[in-house]
């Protein structure tokens, strides 16, 4: 019989091997999925994971990887603080949307004024918007004991409706002849976040690297990082150590909300350029996969975001060149989380194979 035996301590080997095995299993099962759709699995896998980096058009695709990875890094870094502490913010997508709305509102309010202070004000507004939206489930959990998973998730749908309202209402471009959507902030010099568009470099990329460094130092060198880890591993021990659980929940929710809001702001001020009905691209949900694939470690999240960005860009190439359905790429990304959670069992359990005793 096959049984699982709990380890006395998590396996260091499987802690790092599980994500690699999950990626390989995802490629194998993804190939079977593509074959079932009538596509050559080897060509499809090569198109998704190889062509964006090494094909003849890689000079065009590589900057796109930075554009796709930056919001994933920012959001996943914020989520990692809460996940490590046992605070489950699943609504980063809503905080991403609110950050974009608040930041864009500041930029549009000053249009067409030219000033070096507009973008910094937009950055502050974006962070505050995401922070305020995250505080709703945070305060409700602390004060009333509500489940932050459900509250934060439901607020995503509220944010989506608010986004549609803004695109069709007060933020609609008055020169667009009734079409939904705001002015293009990427063409507004004082509000754009682009540093070098041809290289895929905007301020969101810079802030993503800053967030990785900040998170690494905080989690490994600061007392707050110790409190976060302790609360996640043993909430009771954390209380004995003097950690205020309510305050920790609010701080972790605030960090994740602010970083998600920044991701939304940099997206609307750069790659997206405007507030539209379909502005949200699912980064808030994909960042959950990135956070766990990166083992909630800042450097791991950076690498995982690069891999996930690869599936985005490679998926777009496969859709264009191989007529692959967009839903197939979403299934591939979902497989990655599924296999990671499945293989992660080996981190905490050993597989034992033996004969069953007959009493």
In the chain, the DSSP E strands lie at: 2-6, 194-196, 201-202, 349-353
Full residue range of the structural domain in which residue 181 is found: 69-196+205-285
pLDDT of residue 359: 47
Radius of gyration of the chain (CA): 22
pLDDT in tens, 154-165: 999 999 999 999
* pLDDT above 60 for 101: yes
Structurally, how many domains does the chain consist of?
1
pLDDT of residue 314: 95
Residue 105 in domain:
yes
pLDDT of residue 92: 97
For the ranges 125-139, 262-276, 329-343, the lowest mean pLDDT is seen at 329-343
> How many CA atoms, within 13 angstroms, populate the side-chain half-sphere of residue 80?
30
Residue 183 in domain:
yes
Mean pLDDT for the stretch of residues 187-213: 95
Residue 231 in domain:
yes
144 membership: H or E segment, kind and range: helix 118-144
pLDDT of residue 303: 96
pLDDT in tens, 246-302: 999 999 999 999 999 999 999 999 999 999 998 988 999 999 999 999 999 999 999
Report d(CA 279, CA 90) in Å as an integer. 19
User: Can you give the pTM of this predicted structure?
Assistant: 0.94
Residue 243 in domain:
yes
Residue 244 in domain:
yes
- By the 8 A CB rule, do 192 and 186 touch? yes
pLDDT of residue 51: 94
Residue 230 in domain:
yes
Residue 11 in domain:
no
* pLDDT above 60 for 114: yes
Neighbours of 78 (CB within 10 A): 31
* pLDDT above 80 for 358: no
Mean pLDDT for the stretch of residues 341-352: 89
Mean pLDDT for the stretch of residues 227-234: 91
Mean pLDDT for the stretch of residues 61-74: 96
The 3-class secondary structure across 216-239, one letter per residue, is HHHHHHCHHHHHHHHHHHCHHHHH
Residue with tokens 């937009």: 122
Residue 18 in domain:
no
* pLDDT above 60 for 357: no
pLDDT of residue 87: 95
**In whole angstroms, how far apart are CA 42 and each of 121, 223, 321, 333, 336?**
48, 48, 14, 18, 18
Q: Band of the pLDDT at 3, cuts 50, 70, 90?
A: confident
Report helix, strand or coil for 271: coil
pLDDT in tens, 300-323: 999 999 999 999 999 999 999 999
Neighbours of 300 (CB within 10 A): 20
Report d(CA 137, CA 250) in Å as an integer. 9
* pLDDT above 50 for 57: yes
């Amino acid at each position: 019989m096959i049984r699982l035996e709990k380890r006395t301590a998590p396996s260091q080997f499987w802690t790092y091997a599980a994500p690699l095995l999950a990626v390989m299993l995802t490629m194998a099962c993804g190939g079977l999925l593509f074959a079932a759709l009538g596509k050559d699995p080897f060509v499809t896998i090569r198109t998704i994971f190889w062509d964006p980096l090494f094909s003849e058009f890689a000079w065009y695709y590589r900057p796109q990887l930075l554009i796709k990875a930056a919001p994933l890094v920012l959001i996943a870094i914020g989520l990692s603080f809460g996940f490590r502490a046992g605070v489950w913010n699943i609504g980063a997508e809503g905080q991403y949307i609110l950050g974009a709305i608040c930041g864009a509102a500041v930029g549009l309010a000053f249009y067409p004024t030219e000033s070096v202070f507009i973008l910094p004000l937009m950055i502050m507004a974006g962070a505050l918007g995401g922070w305020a939206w995250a505080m709703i489930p945070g305060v409700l959990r602390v004060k009333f004991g509500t489940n932050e998973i459900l509250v934060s998730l439901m607020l995503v749908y509220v944010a989506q409706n608010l986004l549609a309202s803004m695109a069709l209402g007060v933020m609609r471009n008055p020169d667009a002849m009734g079409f939904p959507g705001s002015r293009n902030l990427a063409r507004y010099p004082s509000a754009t976040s682009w540093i070098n568009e041809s290289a895929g470099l905007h301020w969101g990329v810079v802030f993503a690297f800053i967030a990785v460094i900040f998170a690494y130092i905080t989690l490994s060198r600061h007392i707050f990082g110790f409190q976060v880890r302790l609360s996640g591993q043993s909430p009771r021990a954390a209380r004995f150590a003097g950690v205020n659980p309510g305050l920790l929940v609010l701080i972790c929710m605030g960090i994740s909300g602010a970083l998600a809001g920044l991701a939304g702001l940099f997206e609307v001020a750069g790659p997206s350029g405007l507030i539209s009905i379909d502005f949200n691209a699912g980064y808030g949900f994909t960042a959950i996969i990135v956070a766990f694939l990166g083992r909630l470690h800042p450097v791991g999240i950076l690498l995982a975001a690069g891999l996930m960005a690869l599936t985005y860009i490679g998926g777009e190439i496969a859709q264009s060149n191989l007529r692959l359905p967009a839903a197939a790429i979403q299934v591939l990304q979902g497989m990655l989380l599924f296999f990671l959670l499945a293989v992660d069992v080996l981190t905490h359990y050993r597989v034992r194979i033996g004969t069953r005793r007959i009493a």
